[in-house]
Structure 1
C-alpha cells in the first residue's frame, strides 16, 4: 500500500461510509468500510516499516481522527479524547496514552542509546538486558516495543493479555525452530567461538585455533546431547504427524 493508495482509499472509504449512512443508516456497511480503511492503513504502515521509512503521520492522524469521530457517533467511544479509546478510572475517562507515552518515549530513547553503546562495545550482557526489558518486563505492563533496524523504536500501548499470549506464542515458535536444528549444526554457525569441528559437528578448537579444554568440552557436550534429544523429539513428532 503506497501513500497515494492510502490517500485514495481514505477518500473512497469516507464516501462509501457517507453513502451507507444515507441508506437508512446502514451502520453494518459503514463499519465494514471502516474496517477496510483500518486494514489498508495497517498495510501502509507495514510497508513503510519493511522499507525502513517513516509513515506519513499527518495522514495517519487524519484517518485516526475520522475513525474516532465516527465511533463516537455510533456510541462506541465516550469522552473528549480526539483519538483512540479512553481508559476509565474511578468513573472518569483518562487518556492513558497521552499520560504515559512521554515517559515511555524517554525510556525507549534511553534504551536505544544503551543498545547502541553495547553494540559498539560488544557487551552482549547489556544487549540481553535490553531485550529482556522489551520481551519480558514491558509486556507485563501492556507496553510493546518494536525495534526496527535503522528506524526509531516504536512504542505502543497494547492489552496486557494480548501481549502475554503473543509472548507465549513466540516461545513456542522459538522452541520449534530450535528443535528443527540437527545437533551437528548447532555449533557450526558460531564461527566467532570455534574454528574446527569433528565429523559430528562438535567443536574441537576455539576461534584462535587452540584446543578446547576438557572442562569446556564437558559443557558443550551437555548442550550437544540436549540438542540431540530436542531434534529426536522433532523427528518423532513429524513421523507421528503431530
Structure 2
C-alpha cells in the first residue's frame, strides 16, 4: 500500500470509531452525518490523486469499496437508504425508496427554491446589492439553521457543517442579542453626547453678567 492508501484506511477506522461514539451518545445523528461527510471528502481526495496516471498512485478498488459499503450501511441505519443494495441508495423496491428520498430532500429543496424566488424578486425590483446579501443571511439563519445546517462565512468559499438545529438557533439568537445591545449602547452614546452638547450650548447663551453672578 502507498502512503495515501494507508491514510484513507486509517481515516476509515477513525471515522468508524467516531460514528459509533456519536450513536452511543444519545444518537447524535447530526454528528454522524458530519463524520460521513468528512470520510467521503477524504475518499474523493484519494480518488483524485489517481488521476495523475501513475500506476502506483491508482486507487485500490477494494479500499474504496470498503468505504462505500460502510457509508451505505450507516445511512441505512439512519433510514436514508432503502432496499438491500450493499452500495448506493437503491430503488427501495416498488418506488418506496424514491418517495423516502423525496421526503428527506424536500425541506432542503424547499429552502433552495424559496431563496431562489426571493433573489429573483429582488432582481426584478432592481434592489440594491445589499439586498442580495441580506437574502443570503436570511436563508443561512432561517431555513438552513432549522434544518441543522451551519454555514460559516469566510473570505473565500463558505464552509457548511451539520449540527443540532437548537444549538445553531441559540447561537444565532445570542449573536442577534449582542448586536442589539451594541446598537443600543451606541445609540445611548449618541444621546448622551447630544445632551452634553445642548447643555454646553445653553451655557454659552447665558449673558456674561449672569455667568459671573453664578
Identify the structure with bigger relative contact order (alpha carbons < 8 Å, sequence gap 6+): 2
Structure richer in helix, relative to its length: 2
Highest Rg: 1 or 2?
Answer: 2
TM-score between both structures, scaled by the size of structure 2: 0.39
